[in-house]
């Protein structure tokens, strides 16, 4: 299902909390990305929608030159602070759809982490291809809720509150296993600008108490945009239900699907 693109500006309101609340991507993802694309230390990378730099910092640590484009000024400022120790990273505040590089194009990699679905589908693949050097690569991934067989039943149990508030999933809630998550390769190839060269999946689990879980929810567009009375009701019920558990915590499984393409 396509996202409501009117919500993409909401993330800027949570810039101060986003970096601490959102999980880091697995290091194996970045290792696989570098291996599959054959990136060399002098490579030039373009990141679309860098947020606070969750995917920027790990690649900056690997020594690449990175131009990171971010729509939200508060998010861009946070990203600039987080990448400050790395001298070869530029963060530009701009809308990718209208952004133009200050230097020549010819990037070796265009990548986007948990942001590509917010970019205008009529523009994004053509523009990415135009910005890449011949044989350059595109990499897309996100970090969403994964539901392996042993997922925490809390997430099924709390759905009645979402439904009560009129915030349930369209068509009903279903715990989607990690191996069924959308990988983006069909869309990539349908653009006519790229061929898929690799798809990799990663699953990991984090433990959250009530405070840290609600801080995480405060970084999701649907919860940010939720009416305050609904959010108060939901958050109060989450706190109440977690308080009945022995350790007051839940386990959230995260899943990332990395799709890598090569420019045709």
- The radius of gyration of the chain's CA atoms, rounded to the nearest angstrom, is 19
Average of per-residue pLDDT values in the chain: 93
pLDDT value, residue 35: 98
Tell me the average pLDDT across 110-133. 96
pLDDT value, residue 24: 96
Determine phi and psi for 210, rounding to 5 degrees: -60, -45
pLDDT value, residue 221: 85
Structure tokens at 151: 């997922």
**Any idea what DSSP says for residue 54?**
T
pLDDT value, residue 74: 92
Tell me the average pLDDT across 247-260. 98
**What are the pLDDT digits (tens) for 41-52?**
889 999 999 999
Of the pLDDT bands very low, low, confident and very high (cuts 50, 70, 90), residue 56 is very high
Calculate the alpha carbon distances from 155 to 152, 175, 238 in Å: 6, 9, 10
Counting residues of the chain whose pLDDT is more than 70, the rounded percentage is 95
Distance CA 224, CA 218 (A): 6
Tell me the average pLDDT across 203-214. 98
| pLDDT at residue 181 is higher than 90 | yes
All structural domains of the chain: 5-149+175-205+254-263 (3.40.50.150)
Contact 146, 203 (CB under 8 A): yes
Counting residues of the chain whose pLDDT is more than 90, the rounded percentage is 86
pLDDT value, residue 1: 44
Run of H or E residues at 252: strand 249-263
Of the pLDDT bands very low, low, confident and very high (cuts 50, 70, 90), residue 40 is very high
Which string of b and e fits 170-183 if b means at least 16 CB within 10 Å? Answer: eeeeebeebeebeb
**What are the pLDDT digits (tens) for 65-113?**
999 999 999 999 999 999 999 989 999 999 999 999 987 789 999 999 9
pLDDT value, residue 5: 45
| pLDDT at residue 11 is higher than 50 | yes
| pLDDT at residue 184 is higher than 60 | yes
Angle 63-112-210 from CA coordinates, rounded to 5°: 100
pLDDT value, residue 62: 96
Tell me the average pLDDT across 142-156. 96
Q: Is 49 exposed, middle or buried (0-12, 13-18, 19+ CB in 10 A)?
A: buried
pLDDT value, residue 85: 95
């Amino acid at each position: 299902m396509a996202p409501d693109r009117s919500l993409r500006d909401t993330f800027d309101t949570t810039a101060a909390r986003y970096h601490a609340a959102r999980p880091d991507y697995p290091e194996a993802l970045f290792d696989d990305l570098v291996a599959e694309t054959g990136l060399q230390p002098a490579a030039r990378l373009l990141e679309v929608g860098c947020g606070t730099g969750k995917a920027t910092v790990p690649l900056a640590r690997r020594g690449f030159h990175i131009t990171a484009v971010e729509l939200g000024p508060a998010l861009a400022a946070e990203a600039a602070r987080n990448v400050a120790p790395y001298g070869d990273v530029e963060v530009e505040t701009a809308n990718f759809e209208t952004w133009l590089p200050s230097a020549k194009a010819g990037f070796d990699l265009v990548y986007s982490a948990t942001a590509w679905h917010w970019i205008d589908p009529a523009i994004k693949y053509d523009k990415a291809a135009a910005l890449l050097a011949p044989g350059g690569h595109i990499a897309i991934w996100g970090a969403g809720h994964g539901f392996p067989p042993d997922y925490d039943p809390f997430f099924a149990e709390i759905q009645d509150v979402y439904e009560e508030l009129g915030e349930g999933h369209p068509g009903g809630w279903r715990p989607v296993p990690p191996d069924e998550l959308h990988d983006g390769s069909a869309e990539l190839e349908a653009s006519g600008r790229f061929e898929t060269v690799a798809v990799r999946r990663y699953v990991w689990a984090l433990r959250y108490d009530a405070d840290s879980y609600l801080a995480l929810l405060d970084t999701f567009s649907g919860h940010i945009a939720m009416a305050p009375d609904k959010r108060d009701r939901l958050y109060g019920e989450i706190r109440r239900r977690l308080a009945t558990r022995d350790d007051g915590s839940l386990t959230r499984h995260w899943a990332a699907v990395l799709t890598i393409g090569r420019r045709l």
